[in-house]
Structure 1
């Protein structure tokens, strides 16, 4: 059954509002997923000002997983990568020992439009926290389609429902988008110790209880409850194997508090370089 219900909380990342789900005070992680933000839905009026952009900022010890439902963004990082992302495609950036990147609304700058999607962070296993940073992009057609009576979607990463994504992951996990017609059952993958469903839109019924959009349902280990879509619903399913305790401060994740302190000092003193294609501005280290 539903072990924990996590509500979405509004959070500002400058001029852009997101709905934060993870980390939560009662549940910091689901499998290796340590961060989960809903980026919308919201309308960006043309011209979309640069004040809406996310300036260059650093990460260590995690992978950022960006997946859009609507809109478009431009990613630039300290490896020299420049990549637009559009709905259904995937940007997977592994920070490892340290990387910086920006996210700008350049593809929407003149026209504006609706923006919606998810940015998740996946913590790295301890023995891979200091690996070299990396970035990969997958177009929508490269990700496996999930199709059955009354449901369709994509397996973004990992293995589930008899499918495997081509995306290379650092620990066992699954991450998928599903759109389910009202009255249909929702398949919850088995074989993973920790599992959750985030309701983007619609309504689910589990064990006689109804759950609505903006909520994450965390399920008990080994349970296989009947999950029913009460109406047409848009869902994100995620989970995997736990990695053990992690410290999180600002954009840094690590199994070591000392490593977090080192990352703070590295950003403060410019030892994590800026994206060469976007190096005129950056987000300074927070005071708190």
Structure 2
């Protein structure tokens, strides 16, 4: 039997399913955090659901939307709209602050916002690197279409295909869509690998995966994925790190004392600010 992880669901102004980290599985490859956001509708003429400025260290955020849009702003001065199918990678490194807000046109049209947000722990040699930001529109990312489905390769390599997204470490992130009755054979790879069923039904080598659960699978052999009702599947993986990663609030590091320093810096507002933003999320008690 494979390891299957049930999400923790909470409401932060919109529904979020927290899959990683969990007591069963701390990380999958370099991924230490995985959230499935929404779908959620946001009232017109309000800021409900906006994520105010908050800090990160030691990680790279990865944002991918199924529907709706976000407006990203950060302390590097980057302003970028995130639309469905695009990939945003923000390298926090030594420290960055960003906000994510719901655009007015999405609120006005009452369009649902849904997507995946993940954090990749950075390699120990770059966890204090200068912050950086990369945006890849959907048109720049490879798509394999086959009878009954399609595979969007967002980060890393799968089979003979490679994504142009460069994260500086061996990583895999893809989204598979299957029509009712369709199947797809996932090729073997290296490192860790896991499947998250965002919607629909899925069996992995005949083993059922419940909706909104994560299955950690054997990456060393091919696996047959089949769906009776249709499915949207998030595939993540990569080489695990030899060092332990610590996570507190929005901070990740190999050194607990570095996290304590980041907490003190945020409390004292020593992080660089997001231009044009005056709000912020206080350090939790």
Q: Same fold (TM over 0.5)?
A: yes
- Within 5 Å, give how 1:102-121 maps onto structure 2: 102-107=99-104, 108-121=106-119
CA distance in 2 between partners of 1:257 and 1:240 (Å) = 24
CA distance in 2 between partners of 1:226 and 1:23 (Å) = 26
**8 Å contact from structure 1 (residues 60, 99) kept in 2:** yes
Residue 200 (structure 1) aligned with residue 198 (structure 2) = yes
**8 Å contact from structure 2 (residues 170, 239) kept in 1:** yes
Q: How large is the Cα RMSD of the aligned pairs? A: 1.5
Partner of 2:152: 154
Partner of 1:58: 55
Partner of 1:255: 254
Structure 2: gaps (5+ residues): none
CA distance in 2 between partners of 1:191 and 1:70 (Å) = 30
Structure 1: gaps (5+ residues): none
Deviation at 1:151, TM superposition (A): 1.7
CA distance in 1 between partners of 2:179 and 2:30 (Å) = 29
Q: Which moved more, 1:264-273 or 1:97-106?
A: 264-273
Deviation at 1:227, TM superposition (A): 2.5
Q: Which moved more, 1:225-234 or 1:137-146?
A: 225-234
CA distance in 1 between partners of 2:171 and 2:115 (Å) = 20
Residue 92 of structure 1: which of 89, 94, 98 is its match? Answer: 89
- Within 5 Å, give how 1:1-288 maps onto structure 2: 2-13=1-12, 15-47=13-45, 49-107=46-104, 108-244=106-242, 245-278=244-277, 280-287=278-285
Task: Describe the shift of the 1:111–1:182 C-alpha distance in structure 2 as closer, same or farther (beyond 3 A).
Answer: closer
The DSSP-based 3-state class of the residue aligned with 1:39 is strand
CA distance in 1 between partners of 2:231 and 2:14 (Å) = 25
Deviation at 1:161, TM superposition (A): 2.4
CA distance in 2 between partners of 1:118 and 1:172 (Å) = 20
The C-alpha deviation readout for 1:161-205, integer Å capped at 9, x for no partner, is 211111111210110111112333233242221101111111112
CA distance in 2 between partners of 1:255 and 1:189 (Å) = 32
The DSSP-based 3-state class of the residue aligned with 2:119 is strand
Deviation at 1:207, TM superposition (A): 4.4
**8 Å contact from structure 1 (residues 186, 229) kept in 2:** no
The DSSP-based 3-state class of the residue aligned with 2:283 is coil
Q: Which moved more, 1:268-277 or 1:107-116?
A: 107-116
Count, aligned residues: 283
CA distance in 1 between partners of 2:187 and 2:5 (Å) = 20
TM-score, structure 1 length as denominator? 0.94
The DSSP-based 3-state class of the residue aligned with 2:266 is helix
The DSSP-based 3-state class of the residue aligned with 2:261 is helix
TM-score, structure 2 length as denominator? 0.95
